[in-house]
């Protein structure tokens, strides 16, 4: 029963207008719909089928005459005229009972909706597919003071003039207060801006509002896109499956991505709020004005909109620091996905449950694909292609082909090979080697795209490799140059005498894949000395960071795999330490950048590195080696770290800007490296004195790791009443706990009075905390797997989407030893055979098992 891209057919009717009337009641909401249909001349099948799930149909009329449709579990079919007609229906639904948080549901007494991807069918009968677009008018009947829907308001009636698919419908009603502001568009239109929150939260909206205004301006200057309604509303909701939703004119947000104060939100939270506010706002053009023909095209709006929000954050903050952060995320989530049983195309070709495809591959790799397109075309042609796309397709539901055709046209180029990025899963591996021949450097690049489920054979991808060359003294002899690796091999020849200005340097070091110009795994034969040179001298900040990271990773992997005591490795460690020392001493560098260089690869990253080395990872050893090496580096760099720690105190006046955040990041990285379970004095002092959540939480993490339970209790006592802060506490209590205790802590916390498991944020905090502690999750007894499996089964009964997302904890089972593999598969089997298993979790488990 999978849905397939190849089976697309247009809907049999078009819609001229939709009118909805909601009479809200917690357990018996009535929804009346009046929809003007007209036969679609492009359709082949005349069947009138409307989606509908869990609806109680009260009445249905066609052109005023009662009709009796044939109702099934998934919708209804009705005989209709072969001419325009008006459909009217009334249904009853129960928002209070809706724990799946899809469709119309209640959160803390407030009504709200989530319709993407296929939630509108739980609200009324409708062709719930993105290619059916219509203008909506919505009446809301309720005693609640605030009633919102899409578009512009006239009393309790909302009218959205822009045709939209049902997944962009939204309704909110509740006892809410607004933080308000205004924005004047480039062409002079005034827009009322409101962020709606529960009373008491109104003083935590200023940053989100500021981010919204900056996003609106940025989209005007960078993409020429203006806002198109007289009001823009954002609502913060405590119970939400995802981050946020771009409903036309009425964005609905998980409250964790709206509410912020220095005392309760970390610098990371502020950065996420800025990025997500921008992301949802940018969807107004990339997603709403131009939407997707079908859900296979999800990356058309998501990859592009992620790329746009990344550009925005890069402009608002430090571009290299943002880039490194994005690549860290991509590797941690998307590379992991691409290397396992859940690997899929950026544009998938079949699905059972579309909600399972809101993935790192569609979003983050989708964004990388847009970035590569821009790299190939250059900024001007990229902008021209976007312009053509907006002009040509405004008001349409489009495909990847429509998008690419705009760039083929403005650049007069053929993108058919580039398009393989959309249809081949797996992370390409690029290998680079080079040799000197007198004054000539021969550089060979080759590529290989690994097999993935259902795709044993791959064609060569078109890979933009930006590279430069450094001489042995650190001077750059070739600045960043774009090379096109579009075949299995590419041989490049450089005249070093020429590049060296008359004399060929003795030693040359290539700086490859600058700025991470393509989402590939690079295997380059760089010696440790060469990487130290790049760390010290590369003009490309990304590759400076990458050099440090790979040096650290190599040192750690050697130690993890038992080679750490060889004289060679001891010498290597000294060399890496002194390279880091030299790097840190350069006080002209951005503290945020230094913090990234000093941040160790994660346990998950190291696990993959061990697997890549052909060995079997032991999560406990990985955690121990990583902790030990962090302490050693902290000791080796003690003087400089202490100096940074003392000098960078930004003082009591917290501001969330990137500069101040960078100082705190470096200071807290220093804290982490300088602290050991035996020496927690600095962390204790910081915990006691902290006046902002960034510093308080950083100190708490160190203390929990050092097994200081009093700090965790003090934090709990201080913040019990704050939902978002308590989410952090649940998470960190487990994620930072010593491996030997984390599972017990998780079990205890699952019985805590504040463990409201049906709240997705709280559930993700506790379960995510355990999963983020690999040495505990992968406990050899299998108890960690069993704990997570039990909770997934329980959550699946209430909220399949959230259970399915969390289940990816098991996607890496093939990495481990036979005993762990068996235990992980046993957990998956138990989920697979749970009574009443949802389609969502069922699909995930069966893909992970490789069925």
Closer residue to Zn ion (CB): 95 or 287: 287
Point out which span in 243-251, 493-501, 543-551, 717-725 binds ligand ARG (CB under 6 A).
243-251
Closer residue to ligand ARG (CB): 358 or 763: 358
Least distance in Å: CB of 357 to ligand ARG? Answer: 8
Q: Find the binding residues for ligand ARG in span 157-176 (CB under 6 A).
A: none
Establish whether 246 is a catalytic residue: no
- Look up residue 250 and give its two tokens: 């009425």
Closer residue to ligand ARG (CB): 245 or 327: 245
Least distance in Å: CB of 302 to Zn ion? Answer: 5
Convert 741-775 into a string of H (helix), E (strand) and C (coil).
HHHHHHHHHCCCCCCCCCCHHHHHHHHHHHHCCHH
Closer residue to ligand ARG (CB): 246 or 603: 246
Q: Which of Zn ion, ligand ARG, none does 117 bind, CB closer than 5 to 8 A by kind?
A: ligand ARG
Q: Treating both helix axes as pointing N-terminal to C-terminal, what angle do 619-636 and 658-674 enclose, rounded to 10 degrees?
A: 100
Q: Where are the beta strands (DSSP E) in 496-649?
A: 508-511, 521-524
Q: Say if residues 811 and 342 touch (Cβ distance below 8 Å).
A: yes
Q: What does the alpha-carbon distance between residue 158 and residue 149 come to, in Å, rounded to a whole number? A: 6
Least distance in Å: CB of 234 to Zn ion? Answer: 14
Q: Which of ligand ARG, Zn ion, none does 590 bind, CB closer than 5 to 8 A by kind?
A: none
Q: What does the alpha-carbon distance between residue 211 and residue 635 come to, in Å, rounded to a whole number? A: 40
- Look up residue 86 and give its two tokens: 């008006």
Closer residue to Zn ion (CB): 247 or 305: 305
Write the interaction track for Zn ion spanning residues 301-340; mark x where CB under 5 A is met and - where it is not.
-x--x-----------------------------------
**Residue 246 is a binding residue for ligand ARG (CB under 6 A):** yes
Q: Which of ligand ARG, Zn ion, none does 844 bind, CB closer than 5 to 8 A by kind?
A: none
Closer residue to ligand ARG (CB): 289 or 667: 289
Count of chain residues binding ligand ARG (CB under 6 A): 14
List, in sequence order, every residue forming a beta bridge with 112; answer none if it has no partner.
Answer: 105
Q: Find the binding residues for ligand ARG in span 778-817 (CB under 6 A).
A: 801
Least distance in Å: CB of 274 to Zn ion? Answer: 15
Within 10 Å of residue 73's Cβ, how many Cβ atoms? 7
H/E segment holding residue 405: helix 400-411
Least distance in Å: CB of 748 to ligand ARG? Answer: 31
Least distance in Å: CB of 367 to Zn ion? Answer: 10
**Does residue 150 have a cis bond before it (omega within 30 degrees)?**
no
Least distance in Å: CB of 280 to ligand ARG? Answer: 6
Set 19, 53, 118, 280: catalytic member: 280
**Residue 237 is a binding residue for ligand ARG (CB under 6 A):** no
3-state secondary structure at position 396: coil
Q: What does the alpha-carbon distance between residue 342 and residue 364 come to, in Å, rounded to a whole number? A: 15
Q: Shortest CA distance to 279 belongs to which of 287, 268, 267, 291?
A: 287
End-to-end CA distance of the chain, in Å? 15
Least distance in Å: CB of 358 to Zn ion? Answer: 9
Instruction: Kindly tell me which residue out of 24, 50, 172, 242 binds ligand ARG, with binding defined by CB under 6 A.
Output: 242
Instruction: Kindly tell me which residue out of 29, 137, 241, 543 binds ligand ARG, with binding defined by CB under 6 A.
Output: 241
Q: What does the alpha-carbon distance between residue 701 and residue 711 come to, in Å, rounded to a whole number? A: 10
Point out which span in 110-118, 213-221, 411-419, 467-475 binds ligand ARG (CB under 6 A).
110-118
Q: Which of Zn ion, ligand ARG, none does 811 bind, CB closer than 5 to 8 A by kind?
A: none
Q: Find the binding residues for Zn ion in span 193-222 (CB under 5 A).
A: none
**Residue 271 is a binding residue for ligand ARG (CB under 6 A):** no
Q: Which of Zn ion, ligand ARG, none does 116 bind, CB closer than 5 to 8 A by kind?
A: ligand ARG
Point out which span in 2-10, 237-245, 424-432, 560-568 binds ligand ARG (CB under 6 A).
237-245
Closer residue to ligand ARG (CB): 54 or 472: 54
Closer residue to Zn ion (CB): 286 or 765: 286
Q: What does the alpha-carbon distance between residue 387 and residue 410 come to, in Å, rounded to a whole number? A: 10
Instruction: Kindly tell me which residue out of 286, 318, 355, 669 binds ligand ARG, with binding defined by CB under 6 A.
Output: 355
**Residue 310 is a binding residue for ligand ARG (CB under 6 A):** no
Within 10 Å of residue 133's Cβ, how many Cβ atoms? 17
Instruction: Kindly tell me which residue out of 302, 353, 627, 840 binds ligand ARG, with binding defined by CB under 6 A.
Output: 302
Q: Shortest CA distance to 542 belongs to which of 330, 324, 322, 307?
A: 324
Alpha helices in 174-255 (DSSP H): 206-223
Q: What does the alpha-carbon distance between residue 690 and residue 652 come to, in Å, rounded to a whole number? A: 9
Point out which span in 101-109, 247-255, 296-304, 728-736 binds Zn ion (CB under 5 A).
296-304
Q: Shortest CA distance to 795 belongs to which of 751, 841, 850, 827?
A: 841
Least distance in Å: CB of 220 to ligand ARG? Answer: 21
**Residue 30 vs residues 24, 54, 67, 123, 279: alpha-carbon distances, Å:** 7, 13, 19, 9, 33
Closer residue to Zn ion (CB): 215 or 550: 215
Closer residue to ligand ARG (CB): 244 or 726: 244
**Residue 117 is a binding residue for ligand ARG (CB under 6 A):** yes
Q: Which of ligand ARG, Zn ion, none does 618 bind, CB closer than 5 to 8 A by kind?
A: none
Q: Say if residues 761 and 238 touch (Cβ distance below 8 Å).
A: yes
- Look up residue 744 and give its two tokens: 């017990």
Point out which span in 203-211, 299-307, 490-498, 501-509 binds Zn ion (CB under 5 A).
299-307
| Burial class of residue 226 (count of CB atoms within 10 Å of its CB; 0-12, 13-18, 19+) | middle
Least distance in Å: CB of 108 to Zn ion? Answer: 25
**Residue 489 vs residues 305, 423, 428, 463, 484: alpha-carbon distances, Å:** 33, 21, 13, 11, 10
Point out which span in 238-246, 323-331, 457-465, 534-542 binds ligand ARG (CB under 6 A).
238-246
Point out which span in 202-210, 295-303, 686-694, 794-802 binds Zn ion (CB under 5 A).
295-303
Sheet holding 231-237, edge to edge: 177-184, 190-197, 231-237, 250-254, 244-245
Closer residue to Zn ion (CB): 115 or 674: 115
Q: What does the alpha-carbon distance between residue 396 and residue 294 come to, in Å, rounded to a whole number? A: 12
Instruction: Kindly tell me which residue out of 209, 245, 594, 648 binds ligand ARG, with binding defined by CB under 6 A.
Output: 245
**Residue 698 vs residues 305, 454, 639, 675: alpha-carbon distances, Å:** 31, 44, 21, 11
Q: Say if residues 657 and 665 touch (Cβ distance below 8 Å).
A: no
| Burial class of residue 464 (count of CB atoms within 10 Å of its CB; 0-12, 13-18, 19+) | buried
Under DSSP, the state recorded for 470 is E
- Look up residue 49 and give its two tokens: 């089928």
Q: What does the alpha-carbon distance between residue 799 and residue 790 come to, in Å, rounded to a whole number? A: 14
Q: What does the alpha-carbon distance between residue 381 and residue 370 come to, in Å, rounded to a whole number? A: 13
Positive/negative CA dihedral, 38, 42, 46, 50: negative
Q: Which of ligand ARG, Zn ion, none does 160 bind, CB closer than 5 to 8 A by kind?
A: none
Least distance in Å: CB of 432 to ligand ARG? Answer: 35
Closer residue to Zn ion (CB): 310 or 750: 310
Instruction: Kindly tell me which residue out of 270, 282, 312, 358 binds ligand ARG, with binding defined by CB under 6 A.
Output: 358
Q: Which residue in this structure is represented by tokens 């998956």?
A: 828
Closer residue to ligand ARG (CB): 430 or 804: 804
Instruction: Kindly tell me which residue out of 19, 53, 116, 727 binds ligand ARG, with binding defined by CB under 6 A.
Output: 116
Q: Say if residues 253 and 240 touch (Cβ distance below 8 Å).
A: yes
Q: Say if residues 777 and 788 touch (Cβ distance below 8 Å).
A: yes
Least distance in Å: CB of 5 to ligand ARG? Answer: 18
Q: Give residues in contact with ligand ARG (CB under 6 A).
A: 114, 116-117, 241-242, 244-246, 279-280, 302, 355, 358, 801
Active site amino acids: 280
Q: Give residues in contact with Zn ion (CB under 5 A).
A: 302, 305
């Amino acid at each position: 029963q999978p849905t397939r891209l190849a089976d697309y057919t247009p809907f049999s009717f078009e819609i001229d207008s939709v009118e909805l009337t909601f009479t809200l009641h917690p357990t018996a909401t009535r929804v009346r719909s009046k929809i003007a249909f007209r036969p679609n001349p492009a359709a082949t099948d005349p069947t009138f089928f409307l989606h509908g799930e869990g609806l109680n149909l009260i009445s249905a009329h066609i052109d005023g005459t009662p009709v009796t449709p044939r109702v099934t579990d998934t919708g209804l079919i009705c005989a209709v005229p072969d001419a325009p007609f008006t459909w009217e229906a009334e249904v009853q639904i129960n928002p209070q009972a809706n724990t799946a948080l899809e469709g119309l549901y209640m959160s803390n007494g407030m009504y709200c909706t989530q319709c993407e991807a296929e939630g509108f069918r739980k609200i009324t009968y409708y062709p719930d597919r993105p290619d059916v677009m219509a203008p909506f008018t919505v009446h809301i009947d309720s005693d609640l003071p605030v009633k919102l829907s899409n578009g512009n308001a006239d009393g309790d009636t909302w009218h959205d003039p822009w045709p939209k698919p049902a997944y962009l419908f939204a309704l909110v009603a509740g006892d809410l207060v607004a933080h308000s502001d205004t924005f004047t568009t480039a062409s002079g239109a005034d827009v009322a801006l409101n962020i709606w929150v529960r009373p008491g939260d109104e003083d935590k909206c200023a940053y989100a509002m500021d981010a919204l205004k900056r996003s609106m301006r940025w989209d005007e200057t960078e993409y020429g896109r203006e806002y198109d309604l007289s009001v823009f509303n954002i609502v913060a909701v405590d119970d939400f499956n995802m981050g946020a939703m771009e409903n036309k004119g009425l964005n609905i947000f998980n409250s964790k991505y709206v509410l912020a104060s220095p005392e309760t939100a970390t610098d990371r939270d502020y950065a996420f709020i800025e990025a997500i506010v921008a992301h949802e706002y940018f969807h107004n053009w990339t997603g709403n004005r131009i939407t997707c023909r079908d859900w296979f095209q999800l990356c058309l709006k998501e990859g592009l909109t992620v790329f746009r929000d990344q550009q925005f954050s890069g402009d608002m903050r430090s571009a290299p620091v943002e880039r490194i952060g994005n690549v860290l995320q991509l590797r941690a989530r998307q590379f992991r996905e691409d290397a396992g049983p859940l690997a899929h195309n950026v544009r998938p070709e079949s699905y059972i449950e579309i909600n399972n495809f809101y993935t790192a591959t569609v979003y983050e790799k989708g964004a990388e694909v847009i970035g590569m397109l821009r790299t190939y075309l250059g900024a001007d042609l990229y902008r021209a292609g976007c312009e053509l796309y907006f002009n040509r397709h405004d008001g349409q539901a489009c495909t990847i082909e429509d998008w690419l055709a705009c760039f083929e046209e403005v650049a007069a180029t053929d993108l058919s090979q580039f398009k393989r990025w959309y249809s081949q899963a797996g992370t390409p591996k690029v290998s680079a080697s080079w040799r000197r021949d007198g004054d000539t450097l021969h550089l060979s690049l080759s590529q290989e795209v690994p097999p993935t489920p259902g795709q044993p054979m791959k064609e060569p991808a078109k890979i933009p490799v930006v590279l430069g060359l450094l001489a042995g003294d650190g001077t750059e002899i070739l600045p960043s140059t774009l090379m096109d690796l579009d075949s299995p091999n590419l041989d490049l020849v450089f005249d070093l005498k020429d590049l060296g200005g008359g004399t060929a340097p003795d030693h040359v070091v290539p700086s490859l894949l600058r700025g991470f110009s393509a989402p590939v795994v690079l295997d380059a034969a760089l010696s440790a000395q060469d990487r130290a040179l790049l760390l010290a001298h590369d003009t490309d900040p990304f590759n400076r960071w990458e050099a440090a990271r790979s040096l650290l990773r190599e040192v750690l992997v050697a130690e993890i795999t038992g080679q750490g005591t060889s004289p060679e490795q001891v010498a290597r460690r000294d060399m890496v330490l002194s390279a880091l020392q030299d790097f840190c001493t350069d006080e002209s560098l951005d503290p945020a950048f230094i913090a990234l260089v000093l941040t160790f690869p994660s346990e998950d990253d190291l696990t993959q590195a061990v697997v890549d080395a052909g060995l079997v990872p032991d999560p406990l050893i990985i955690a121990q080696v990583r902790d030990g090496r962090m302490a050693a580096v902290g000791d080796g760099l003690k003087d400089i770290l202490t100096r940074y720690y003392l000098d960078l105190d930004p003082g009591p006046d917290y501001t969330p800007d990137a500069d101040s955040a960078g100082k705190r990041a470096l200071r807290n990285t220093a804290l982490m490296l300088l602290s050991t379970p035996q020496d927690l004095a600095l962390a204790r002092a910081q915990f006691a004195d902290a006046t902002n959540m960034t510093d308080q939480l950083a100190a708490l993490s160190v203390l929990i790791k050092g097994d200081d339970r009093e700090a965790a209790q003090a934090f709990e006592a201080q913040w019990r009443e704050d939902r978002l802060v308590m989410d952090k506490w649940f998470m960190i209590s487990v994620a930072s706990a010593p491996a030997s205790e984390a599972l017990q802590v998780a079990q205890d916390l699952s019985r805590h009075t504040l463990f409201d498991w049906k709240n997705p944020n709280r559930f993700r905090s506790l379960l995510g905390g355990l999963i983020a502690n690999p040495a505990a999750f992968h406990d050899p007894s299998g108890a960690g797997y069993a704990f997570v499996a039990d909770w997934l089964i329980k959550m699946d009964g209430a909220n399949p989407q959230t259970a399915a997302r969390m289940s990816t904890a098991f996607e890496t089972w093939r990495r481990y030893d036979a005993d762990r593999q068996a235990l992980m598969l046993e957990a998956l089997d138990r989920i697979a055979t749970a009574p009443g298993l949802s389609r969502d979790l069922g699909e995930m488990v069966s893909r992970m098992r490789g069925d």
